[in-house]
Amino acid sequence: MNRLETSPLRIAIVGAGGYSGAELVNILLRHPRAEIVGLFGSSKRDEGPQQLLEDIFPRFRGRLKLPVTAAEPGAIAALKPDAVFLATPHEASEALASPLLKTGACVLDLSAAFRFRDAGVYPLHYGFAHTHPDLLATAVYGLPELFRSQLPSAKLIAVPGCYPTSAILPLAPLVREGAIAKDSHGRLRRPIIDATSGVSGAGRSAKVGSLFCEVSLQPYGVLKHRHQPEIDTYAGVETVFTPHLGSFDRGILSTIHVELASDWTAEKVRTLYEKTYAHERFVRLCAPGIFPAIADVCGSNYCDFGWALDEKHGHLIIASAIDNLVKGAAGQAVQAMNARFGLDEGWGLLDGSFVR
């Protein structure tokens, strides 16, 4: 019998001192088959005195007595992990993944370092040249609702971004079924996405715009946000994406405008969504006339969305809500890990506990 069928999965987390890393710890501590064997800092936190995780996040007092140590591939490999989560900056993930994959561990990367097949995306949108383009062809995009069949054989899983998750899940079925109207040149009319994220989406580093007395509702990255190509790639349609910073700690609400093809009705849209997501436990469809709120999903791995159609003009409005740190990062990563190792996808994610 395979050891993994009877023993806990040995888990290492790199970037445990950040918000997504801490969320991974919180989820994996309640996972029935996970054993956290090592915590490591991202490259930005490797220097300085070693700290226990509870010194960084006091909510872990009495729950996990592990230090957060420097992210050195040899030290991580020495723990013989079955899975390594990289909650690290893009460049750090790109450097760490290759040596870790050689140990036989499954690597789940929460950065954007392996989300694209085309290495040319990285200097254009992320400001660095990719030095491991060979790995881009092997990475599986870790959105289980769309790529579940590819996950069991994956060695490298590129966990989707937060904004993209909130947009791809509602848009991809419409694109697949030809629901989006075309312009006079035969091109799909671009959906418009206005999305607002809590401040945790900007990470834990100190920035004036993220300070309690400074943060305010405002757009940023207009027409140049790095999540735009990810949304377009995996939704299957070019979009107009405008992110906003909201004065709350966590969560994303995306409002999406779509011009539908002439033969699409409200009933046809509902039938499509119900058929697509009927057996997806982490996608919840709102009843007619109901739209989701961030409070509905905060601390959970759910993506909730509702919609309304102006049938006279064929204008569909969709509102989707996720927790950016859970379904938009750590929860999605654990869901993908569960699918990768043949476990129940809900393990660690369905007990409803939320420790701030």
For the beta sheet containing 218-219, the strands, ordered from the edge strand earlier in sequence to the opposite edge, are 218-219, 240-245, 192-197, 252-259, 315-322, 303-310, 283-285
Cα three-residue angle 282-285-291, rounded to 5 degrees: 120
**Region of residue 345 (phi > 0: left; psi between -120 and 50: alpha; otherwise: beta):** alpha
* Torsion 11-321-356-112 (CA) sign: positive
Other residues' Cβ atoms within 10 Å of the Cβ of residue 98: 15
Cα–Cα dist 157/1, whole Å: 26
CB 99 within 8 A of CB 84: no
For the beta sheet containing 106-109, the strands, ordered from the edge strand earlier in sequence to the opposite edge, are 51-52, 67-69, 34-40, 9-14, 83-86, 106-109, 156-158, 140-141
What residues are annotated to the active site? Answer: 162
Cα–Cα dist 325/254, whole Å: 15
